[in-house]
Chains A and B, each alone.
Chain A
Amino acid sequence: MQPSREHRPSARPSLWPWTFALGVVLVLVGIVVSWILVAVGAVVAVAAGFAWVRGLAGAGTLLRTGEVEPERRVEAPQEDGYVPPRPERFPRSVFLELSTLGLGGVIGGLVTVPALGFMVLPPFLKQKFKSQDVGPVTDFPEGTWVVTTFMADPAQGEVSRKTAFVRNNGMLGQYPSFTVISNHCAHLGCPVQPNGPLLGKGSPFGDEQKQYKDVTLIPALNVAGFGCPCHGGAYDTEGNRTAGPPVRALDRYSFSIRDGHLFLGAPFSVSFVEGTGAQAKIHKWSLAFPGEHVHGIESWLYPIQAPH
């Protein structure tokens, strides 16, 4: 068919497109203001959209072929007494058509479903954090921040290197207390840095540095908080956001002590921390991606966290 150069004559200009636009605007405003407005907007948009399309369709469709008078057969027996068979209700052609489509669908599904599952599911399964031995507790002097870098999965190489800021808070009653803060910025995951000079190889403040297997321990002096080089997020020494774009406090690692060694366990998210050091009260949430609110009304946008 030749392409046409003009619109086919259609219904007169109507207000439905504008009503549709109004519905969309209500939905967008509603996302910020109120869920009721979202629902109203959605209803308006769907109804107006349908009316709009119905109006457009008034001109008829290109796809419908013209009406053809069905052929009529004379049912009377012919001269030799032969009666032509009635057309079947379910002829073989329809059966073959449906069985081809059905079998094709089944075969397609058998191939596609496992393949798609293999693509989608592995990132969500067996994501448990393996607890990491970061060396003897005595390597972490009380009251000093130690930049602790370890390989979460040595088979993956350097890419699996993670950093935690560890401070020994001394004893809380009969239990030792540590503050273990992740270096993943709560804005978009860049590496935050301690705001204070680092020791270690090549540092003008002293080359004090410890190595335990894959783990590197570098003490930091006079840490006044943490800062992110990417977009200027700033945190205090408990990881509470003090300035910039982050939406919550810095994540933390759980920890345990076995045979005199400090082990870092699964990380978790923190909305904010009250108090400091061993007395800190940590508002703890399951681990969320950077940039996600974990408390307050915005956290409603992330009702389910991916399993990990």
Chain B
Amino acid sequence: MATRRRTRQQQMQDAILYPLDWIEERSGLVGAIRYFLFRKVPGDVNWFQTLGSATLTAFLVQVTTGVILAMYYQPGPTTAYSSIQRITNDLWAGWLVRGMHRWGASVFIILMFLHMGRVFLFGAYKFPRELTWLIGVGLLALGLLEGFTGYLLPWDQTAYWATTVGININGTGPFLGPFLAQFLQGGRYINGDTLSRFYSLHMLLLPGAIFALIGLHLWLVIRLGVTSPPWSKEAAGLGPLPGDPVTDGDGRVV
């Protein structure tokens, strides 16, 4: 009786898992996702080690709200400002989505710095994770560029003068500065082309680059494992490798 019930339960589970099984057989994706999500981490990780995931979440919020804002925003020297007014004042929940994007931008930057501080104070940038740190620095730079290019898009007085000052600071760079400034600006002064090239950078080039670097960053996190806190008695990162000495719970070699 019990056996037959168990068998029926088994059959039900198999039937439910069949579609996943079908995908796994053809792609190996289920295994890959399992490899990504169900990793061994040191027993004494703490909440500070969730800052990286928090930063990723903030970025995904920016991507989602940004894609939707782009459906209503009209980048053009005579239309940009009024379309932002329409988003904020006329469209249903436009104020909310724009607010999420606007404040989420600050959250993203702040979280990047907190995450960076955690990695620094835990010494998690040391061998073999130097490359993860360097890619993170690249992500920080791209994130700040997102902030710089996004700031122009409301096309109001603040946007105009902040971007003027920002571009002119680039212009004071030695030798190539004037060329960099004129390239960024799309001309000698801020004009309609400045807006559309900042828009293009803000929503195509920079997010694409950020996605690519996040991919590399995460791959290294998965490959190298998560560090233990500095006060930990456990060895950092990975579970035991073949050939490692077997230890008991207190780290003594058995």
Interface residues of A (CB under 8 A from B): 2-7, 120, 122-124, 127, 129, 152-153, 156-160, 162, 188-191, 230, 287-292, 301-306, 308
Given A230-B161, A292-B171, A3-B238 contact (CB < 8 Å): yes
B46 within 8 A of A: no
**Residue in B closest to A124 when the chains form the complex, CB atoms:** B182
Partner of B183, one of A2, A4, A123, A301: A123
Given A157-B77, A301-B175, A7-B127 contact (CB < 8 Å): yes
How far is it, in angstroms, between the C-alpha of A150 and the C-alpha of B163 when the chains are bound?
A: 21
Query: A290–B171 contact, CB under 8 A?
Result: yes
Number of interface residues of B (CB under 8 A): 40
B190 within 8 A of A: yes
Q: Which of A2, A5, A230 is most buried by chain B, counting CB atoms within 10 A of its CB?
A: A5
Distance between A238 CB and nearest chain B CB, rounded to angstroms: 23
Partner of A291, one of B168, B185, B186: B168
Query: B175–A303 contact, CB under 8 A?
Result: yes
B174 within 8 A of A: yes
Query: B177–A5 contact, CB under 8 A?
Result: no
**Residue in B closest to A300 when the chains form the complex, CB atoms:** B174
Query: A5–B128 contact, CB under 8 A?
Result: yes
Chain A residues whose CB sits within 8 angstroms of the CB of B164 once the complex forms: 188-190
Query: B178–A153 contact, CB under 8 A?
Result: no
How far is it, in angstroms, between the C-alpha of A302 and the C-alpha of B128 when the chains are bound?
A: 42
Distance between A14 CB and nearest chain B CB, rounded to angstroms: 17
Q: Which of B168, B182, B237 is most buried by chain A, counting CB atoms within 10 A of its CB?
A: B168
Chain A residues whose CB sits within 8 angstroms of the CB of B155 once the complex forms: 159
Partner of A306, one of B160, B179, B241: B179
Query: B190–A127 contact, CB under 8 A?
Result: no
**Residue in A closest to B225 when the chains form the complex, CB atoms:** A3
Identify 24 residue pairs between A and B in the complex whose beta-carbon atoms are under 8 Å apart, listed by A's number.
A4-B128, A5-B235, A5-B241, A122-B186, A122-B193, A123-B183, A123-B193, A152-B189, A156-B191, A157-B77, A159-B155, A159-B190, A188-B164, A189-B168, A190-B165, A230-B161, A288-B178, A289-B171, A289-B181, A291-B171, A292-B171, A301-B174, A302-B177, A303-B175
Distance between B236 CB and nearest chain A CB, rounded to angstroms: 8
How far is it, in angstroms, between the C-alpha of A188 and the C-alpha of B237 when the chains are bound?
A: 49
Query: A153–B191 contact, CB under 8 A?
Result: yes
B188 within 8 A of A: yes
Distance between A50 CB and nearest chain B CB, rounded to angstroms: 20
How far is it, in angstroms, between the C-alpha of A127 and the C-alpha of B181 when the chains are bound?
A: 14
**Residue in B closest to A152 when the chains form the complex, CB atoms:** B189
Query: A302–B175 contact, CB under 8 A?
Result: yes
Q: Which of A122, A127, A152, A156 is most buried by chain B, counting CB atoms within 10 A of its CB?
A: A156
Distance between A233 CB and nearest chain B CB, rounded to angstroms: 12
Distance between A159 CB and nearest chain B CB, rounded to angstroms: 5
Query: A188–B188 contact, CB under 8 A?
Result: no
Query: B160–A188 contact, CB under 8 A?
Result: no
Q: Known contacts A159-B77, A188-B165, A287-B188; can you find 14 more A-B pairs with CB under 8 A?
A: A3-B223, A5-B238, A6-B127, A123-B183, A123-B185, A123-B193, A127-B188, A156-B77, A156-B192, A159-B155, A159-B192, A289-B177, A302-B174, A302-B178
B135 within 8 A of A: no
Chain A residues whose CB sits within 8 angstroms of the CB of B171 once the complex forms: 289-292
**5 closest cross-chain pairs (CB), A and B:** A289-B171, A291-B172, A301-B174, A157-B78, A306-B182
**Residue in A closest to B191 when the chains form the complex, CB atoms:** A156
Chain B residues whose CB sits within 8 angstroms of the CB of A162 once the complex forms: 189
Given A159-B192, A303-B175, A230-B165 contact (CB < 8 Å): yes
